[in-house]
Structure 1
Amino acid sequence: MADQKMKERRRVSLMIMVLIFQVLSASLHGCLAATGQGQPPRKPTSIHPRAGVRSSVFLPVSGNVYPLGYYSVTIGIGNPPKPFQLDIDTGSDLTWVQCDAPCTGCTLRRDQLYNPSKNNFVDCKDPICLAVNSPNPPQCKNPNEKCCFQVQYADHGSVLGFIVLDTFPLRLVNGTLSKPNLAFGCGHRLQNRGLHPPTPTARVLGLGKSKASISSQLSSMGVTKNVFGHCLGDNRGFLFFGADFVPKSGMTWTRMLQSSSYKHYSSGPAELLFSGKPTGIKGVNVIFDTGST
């Protein structure tokens, strides 16, 4: 009986966290929302869309913090769509996939890689190229050159590639099928020299603050509102784009810094307490990064 009670306490004490962000908008503030720790998850009705649903996208999330160390969603790219499992990351602006261009250092089989056509590549003169490479503009000798990108990760090495455009078929919760052309990275040179082995995903779904992020692009096209959020459970959860799944109650809210000069989502300076006692660590900026356990 004692063992059963202990297991139940552990189950109930699992904290389910919902991160909800609004990027580059004055109408709402980005926020972190979490159900109270030590409380059981709310009933599934809390994640149903509100009445008068407009345009939102709802995607199941799989994975966990331990032992996998990541959460992912599966999204189709292309026409016909090919499924790619992407590691969701609020600390990255750019979405990118392993790409057969050809690829050096890719961890997936060749038939699992994204295969671009010559019509998919974005030119250096395209505004999205500048957004991807901000604040360092691309060094292009010719404006018609292919737009390149490079991302360095503290724990997973680096990736080099080209920016491409392709269709992302997304089923909206109102039943409509939207097929926006979104810009993302075609990563063809990977250096997996980080502190940890690379995840087995096709790679990264960037949910950062810049105009290059998926949420910003969907908003600029009028597909969804510039809001996204995710609920992370023990080994499952959900990701949504749009404002229709923002919970009405049972949440704790905190504002994000609105400074455009600050790259990550942050609530500003904070103090670290241990068992309610000061640790001496204070005044440091807290950032929210689902790409880092």
Structure 2
Amino acid sequence: MGKSWGASRAPTVGLAIALIIAAALHGCFCATAPGLRLLTGGKKAAAGAGGTIGHSAVFTVNGNVYPLGYYSVSINIGNPPKAFELDIDTGSDLTWVQCDAPCTGCTKPRQSLYKPNNNLIPCGHNLCSSIHSTGKINCPEPSEQCDYEVEYADHGSSLGVLVADSFPLRLINGSFLSTRLGFGSCGYDQKNPITGTPPTAGVLGLGSGKASIVTQLKNMGLFQNVIGHCFSGQGGGYLFLGNYLVPSSGVSWTPMLQTVKHYSAGPAELLFGGKHTGLNGLQLIFDSGSSYTYFNSAVYKSTLDMVRLD
């Protein structure tokens, strides 16, 4: 996730490279289940591009790579709806917000926290098992609450319980859709490794896992399994869910692996000055929650050596 909760919000995994692709581009990143879409040109939307099922919603993106180091959107949750500013993160699945449970480590005033209302998701629910990497959870009674704990690469973390609540969404055609989605709240124990107060209240998980709100909306038959975020070079931009804004032309396609957890284009080769370096098979993921490109230690050392010799 964004630097508001640390330098990299990608969950702790053995990745070789984490890349935010749109940070320096005047374009879009778009991801679907069968493939990765890089929108390199053309902003004219094609109605029903990629299919005709489902709706589409657009959100204004705030933030920039520098000096803020994060991107966020305002999401309404609950009935009556309450707005929460959340980091947009394609590197993780779970959406969570700071919660009045009470809360440890929360950075927002109490009146700005999420307030649960007897809407806990039980640990016997399939959404609960999906957020645990092993699929096994401590659930002696299926009716008990579902606890979660998520830790990120920068050692930031959130601890809480799963709940279900309304997510009112304004659609492209101007109408509103409100559906109940599962998410991580109350996030009642947060750890933030950076100095200063994070400006956001949590994380909007846009990964491809079962707990992602993208997957939940798709499984309900409401949205195509498509997300996109478009950034300008001046900061800001927009995020869309659904397929309506995918251009009918000017799209470069790169297949994504179906065997990995994150959005990944598969093994990559590192070129230096357009020349082969012998560094092959690098695993690459697309992570909107990081404003940096990362290498593992071996690739990093090799890159430094090449720079020094150049």
TM range (shorter): 0.7 to 0.9
* Paired residues of 1:138 and 1:148 also in contact (CA < 8 A): no
Match of 2:84 in 1: 84
Does residue 1:248 correspond to 2:260, yes or no? Answer: no
**Cα distance in structure 1, aligned partners of 2:101 and 2:141:** 21
State percent identity of aligned pairs.
52
Pair 198,212 (structure 1): closer, same or farther in 2 beyond 3 Å: farther
Does residue 1:222 correspond to 2:227, yes or no? Answer: no
Moved more, 164-173 or 153-162: 153-162
Summarize the alignment of residues 62-211 of structure 1 with structure 2, pairs less than 5 Å apart. Answer: 62-118=62-118, 120-186=119-185, 187-193=187-193, 199-211=198-210
* Length, aligned pairs only: 263
User: Any unmatched runs of 5+ in structure 2?
Assistant: 1-23, 292-310
Pair 220,124 (structure 1): closer, same or farther in 2 beyond 3 Å: same
Pair 215,47 (structure 1): closer, same or farther in 2 beyond 3 Å: farther
**Cα distance in structure 1, aligned partners of 2:160 and 2:101:** 9
Does residue 1:31 correspond to 2:36, yes or no? Answer: yes
Shift of 1:64: 0.8
Match of 2:283 in 1: 285
TM-score for the superposition, normalised by structure 1: 0.84
Q: Which amino acid aligns with 1:199?
A: P
* Paired residues of 1:256 and 1:267 also in contact (CA < 8 A): yes
Q: Secondary structure at the match of 2:59?
A: strand
Q: Per-residue displacement from partner, 1:105-148 (whole Å, max 9, x unpaired)?
A: 01111111111112x11101111111122434221221111001
Pair 113,273 (structure 1): closer, same or farther in 2 beyond 3 Å: same
* Paired residues of 2:30 and 2:39 also in contact (CA < 8 A): no
**Cα distance in structure 1, aligned partners of 2:94 and 2:46:** 28
Pair 33,198 (structure 1): closer, same or farther in 2 beyond 3 Å: farther
Moved more, 131-140 or 245-254: 131-140
Q: Secondary structure at the match of 1:111?
A: helix
Q: Which has the higher contact order (CA 8 A, sep 6+)?
A: 2
**Cα distance in structure 2, aligned partners of 1:34 and 1:49:** 13
**Cα distance in structure 2, aligned partners of 1:210 and 1:90:** 10
Q: CA RMSD in A?
A: 2.0
**Cα distance in structure 2, aligned partners of 1:165 and 1:72:** 22
* Paired residues of 1:99 and 1:115 also in contact (CA < 8 A): yes
Match of 2:299 in 1: none
Q: Per-residue displacement from partner, 1:148-177 (whole Å, max 9, x unpaired)?
A: 100011115111100000000001112331
Q: Which amino acid aligns with 1:80?
A: P
Q: Which amino acid aligns with 2:226?
A: V
**Cα distance in structure 1, aligned partners of 2:57 and 2:137:** 32
**Cα distance in structure 2, aligned partners of 1:60 and 1:113:** 21
* Paired residues of 2:73 and 2:85 also in contact (CA < 8 A): yes
- Equivalent position to 2:263, from 262, 265, 269: 265
* Paired residues of 1:62 and 1:73 also in contact (CA < 8 A): yes
* Paired residues of 1:20 and 1:30 also in contact (CA < 8 A): no
Shift of 1:250: 2.1
**Cα distance in structure 2, aligned partners of 1:132 and 1:74:** 24
Q: Per-residue displacement from partner, 1:63-103 (whole Å, max 9, x unpaired)?
A: 11111111111110011100011100000110000111110
Q: Which amino acid aligns with 1:238?
A: Y
* Paired residues of 1:271 and 1:281 also in contact (CA < 8 A): yes
Match of 2:19 in 1: none
